[in-house]
Structure 1
Amino acid sequence: MFVNGDAWGWPQDWSTAPEMIPVHSHDGMFWGIYYLQAGNGMKFNNEKSWSTGDNFGAENEDPKGYGEYPAGGSNLKVADTGYYLVIVSCTLSADKKSVNRKVILAEPKLFLRGACAGGWADAGAGRPNDLEVAFALAADGATYEAVTAGDGDLRIYVATGVQGVDWWQSELVVRDDKIEYRGKGGDQEPRVPVTIGKTVSLDFRTNTGSIQ
């Protein structure tokens, strides 16, 4: 799934349109974190094209805040400037003759998890008691930061808020100063070890990060 719009210059050939990240184990669901200006519009397509694939946006161009919106033929426009977690969900209709599409706009909520956040809990369904450290948006409004609370492998995830999506299904790490997404792959090897007290920074405008 690709996203095109004001933030990327509306290229006719979709050359600068970013590819969204597939949610692990959930076919037809994709996500991305984007910095958007108030009034910015966007559309989506499974192909980098205006003439092929299935272009869609929202049902109207009224500026939208956080929420869930049915797909439509108009540009999906955001109401305020800032970061958005954008989730696209495509599911088969009950009669399996059509595809139902919706777009979710949410506040990005990012976390360190596991050893780098202070420790893993006993194994269990979803490991609900694993320790976490929340990222906060820095004063510049462009960078998310969190400080590690333990030694171990770096594990970062974005909370989608979608029922049935587990934390590890929307993971990412920082490697060589770049944000690397897990997508539908396995554990991100080789692991990225960190020590306690390191500041992890994420800038989704440039898909870069740092560990200092």
Structure 2
Amino acid sequence: MTLNGANLKVEKAGLYDITLTFKLAQGSFDKNFSYTAVCTQESNLPEEMYMIGEGIEGWGLEDNPSQAVAMHPFHSQPGCFWAIRYIEAGKGFKFSTVNTKWGSDFTDLGNGTGFTVAGGNCSVAESGLYTLQVDYENSKVIVEPAVIIGMDAPFGNGGWDKTLEAAKFTINGKLASKTAVAAGNIRTFVSCTLNGDWWHAEFVPKDGKIVYREAGGDPEAIAIAAGQTLTYDFNAGTGVIK
């Protein structure tokens, strides 16, 4: 433990008893403090979540695990996941906590909104770009039209307004795009029901690909100039500045 050092980390999620010990002694800060962390109850929440089905990439799992598309954990929200996908009307999909076998797949967890369940699969009534969300602890599955918002000067959102209409990206089929009104670094996120704060579901483009913040720190500074257009294709995983 050092002054202004890194955050404390544990090997697995769960309930911990943390003991901080202070020893009055001369010398550096790290010589005076120590700590122990004992896990008293392991978390039963999944650390991974996947989407499968005709409406995603296919029904793989055991036969073709690559068809199970990983969702992204919300920052600071254990057991909560999200993903943005273009889904065609009537094409089935569902969710799974593993990507290698059947038996952990589910549809609505008993509390789903924004889709219908028939024949053991989810589907949407209209084709479009959607945000899919899972709150495993509270048995919620939510599917709603995707709303992408840009933060700070490049998107005319210097007040960092999480709901600013003028900062919303234009959705056109599979694509979400926005032209920068000023130079600066890109900060973009998806506005959705389960998002506890904007940066909990943040992402940026880098080298033509979308980089998701997930449980990490602030994303790398990616610059955009006034007049350039940022376009995301979430199915393809691309983020392009032109």
TM tier, shorter chain? Answer: 0.7 to 0.9
Matches within 5 A, 1:1-212: 1-6=49-54, 7-13=56-62, 14-51=65-102, 54-58=104-108, 67=114, 74-91=120-137, 100-118=138-156, 120-121=158-159, 128=161, 133-138=167-172, 141-162=173-194, 165-189=196-220, 191-212=221-242
Tell me the amino acid that sits aligned with residue 120 of structure 2.
S
What secondary structure does 1:205 align onto? coil
Structure 1 Cα separation of the partners of residues 102 and 147 of structure 2 = 35
What secondary structure does 1:169 align onto? helix
Residue 46 of structure 1 and its aligned partner are, at CA, apart by 1.4
Structure 1 Cα separation of the partners of residues 162 and 52 of structure 2 = 38
Q: Which runs of 5+ in 1 are unaligned?
A: 92-99, 122-126
**Equivalent pair of 2:187/2:202 in contact (CA under 8 Å):** yes
Deviations 1:105-140 (A, max 9, x none): 10100011113223533xxxxx548976110123xx
Structure 2 Cα separation of the partners of residues 202 and 129 of structure 1 = 19
Identity of counterpart residues, as a percentage?
33
Q: Which has the higher contact order (CA 8 A, sep 6+)?
A: 1
**Equivalent pair of 1:68/1:103 in contact (CA under 8 Å):** no
Q: Which runs of 5+ in 2 are unaligned?
A: 1-48
State the TM-score, normalizing by the size of structure 2.
0.70
Which of 1 and 2 has greater Rg? 2
Closer, same or farther: CA 188–110 of 1 in aligned 2, 3 Å: same
State the TM-score, normalizing by the size of structure 1.
0.79
Query: Number of matched residues?
Result: 189
Tell me the amino acid that sits aligned with residue 10 of structure 1.
W
